[in-house]
Amino acid sequence: MEILVGIAALFVLGAIYLVYFAPSNKFYKRWPAIDDDEFVRRCSPGTNREVALKVREIISDVSGEDYEHIHPEQPLADIFR
């Protein structure tokens, strides 16, 4: 009986994680992973590569989103949802 209760508890915790904490598939479909070269190509002409990638890194760190899914044309409201 204790094993069944433990399994049920794990199932409930897993469901809660999937609903509230798992990454949004909609976000990742809209903003697929891109590498650094593609990121810089999408920036405005004349953008300093090192500065652009540092800003990307900072936004990724602060938002908790994967670095590869941060795009230069992405509205901040999409990142900090």
Residue-wise pLDDT for 56-81, tens only, equals 999 999 988 899 999 999 988 777 76
Token pair of 68 as six digits: 């590869």
DSSP notation for the chain: -HHHHHHHHHHHHHHHIIIIISPPHHHHHHS----HHHHHHHSPTT--HHHHHHHHHHHHHHH---GGG--TT--HHHHT-
Could you report the per-residue pLDDT of 8-60, keeping only the tens digit for each?
767 666 666 555 555 556 778 888 999 999 999 999 999 999 999 999 999 99
